[in-house]
A and B are shown apart, each in its own frame.
Chain A
Amino acid sequence: MLKVSGLQTAYGRSQVLFDVELTIGEGEVVTLLGRNGMGKTTTVKSIMGLLKPLAGEILFCGQNVRGATPESVARRGVGLVPEGRQVFPTLTVRENLVATAANRLGRSDAWTLERVYELFPRLSERVDQSAATLSGGEQQMLVLGRALMTNPKLLILDEATEGLAPVIRREIWGCIEALKGEGQSILLIDKNLSVLKRLADRHYIVEKGRTVWSGDSAALDRDSELVHGYIGL
């Protein structure tokens, strides 16, 4: 589904990514691990077209999307849940979900408001409230719901549980697990290694802008010393 190889990206003159490799198959849940500042979010931004990579290849469903605009990447079926709570604050919960909803790939089991409310009952209690009045966790659920309403082939969650209360975190993890059960392909970026190990099929570790390790959860356990060296846990 997604194949990234030899990815190089820079902010102005300072190069951040040197050689990032990453592959996600149909229905797979894959994580991107690494300490802060190692290039995880930069990788996501490069995939989304929010940053223009210098070199490398980004294939999405067999098509090269390197250098494409964010809207065209999103239209091909990549849904992003970015860092921070990026709702549209003055719109209501319902408006946030409906305004940008789309089913561009013509999925038969398309997401509906009802299904999103079922997934996040908290949102259904606040349908006509403006998004600015939601708690941090609810806002993050709303952003996730908004992404689902575009019926993405690949969902990217960039630190979606950062700074949330443990209860809310568990709720979001539960949803991701449910999505995985439905065969949704997901790229996860998070710090909660124990959950990720349980949830994800495979893992990639980036260190100073290079993919330095990859393997499944069993391999992650086996190489735990090496992994801890990279992630610093």
Chain B
Amino acid sequence: MTTPRYKRFLLAVLAWAIALIIFFPILWMALTGFKTEAAAIADPSFVFSPTLESYVAVHARADYLKFALNSVVVAFGSTLLALLIAIPSAYSMAFLPTPRTKGTLLWMLSTKMLPPVGVLMPIYLLFRDTGLLDTLTGLIIVYTLMNLPIVVWMLYTFFKDLPRDILEAGRMDGASTLQEVRHLLLPLTLPGIASTGLLAVILSWNESFWSLNLTSSDAAPLTAYIASFSSPEGLFWAKLSAASTMAIAPILVFGWLTQKQMVRGLTFGAVK
């Protein structure tokens, strides 16, 4: 049985409408970046003469590349580190569970319920004493710890879905635990690991609380770059939009290129 044409048409229109509504703020931000400050606060309009003056002004005030490079290093560094820690822990929880596994998983997730500002002072003092303030290493450590519960949870559900027989067959053939993980588990759950990694990258890229509080100049990522163009006193809409467009551009392109893996991974395991 096939869906009638008109139904398919209606569904397509609905999908486009929803996609446009979701995408509209980003589109508007991109357009505002090409307006003058006066046009940016004037009545909303799609008709305007585009200018690059905001981009020029933004470029003159801050070194975009330095911030972008910090974002890339921190987002990918923390994701790699989180995966390195999470894969063995998710493996042991999925295949060698103990009576406390469920409790441990829930406890890990509960740390996400704490408002970050609650631990700002102790973390700031620890960082001050260990010389980690305003360093990429410090930020990578914080982001790794921040994303670890989600990464472990996602990997745990992906690993749990894998039939145990496959791993047992490998073991019968004499594979060591390391070989089992390397040659069976990782290749079979790669879509899940990839989507977990992508999610961790996006979460780290967008994180602003810790990046604003623990960095000043050397390790400041793009979130600090955007924050420097926002102000309660003074109109900087066009410049803020230009800066934001530049800040989200890399992750937008990255998300676009990897959307297939992302959707495949998310539908493959956890969220069925």
Q: Do A and B come from one complex?
A: no
Residues of chain A touching chain B, judged by Cβ–Cβ distance below 8 Å, are none
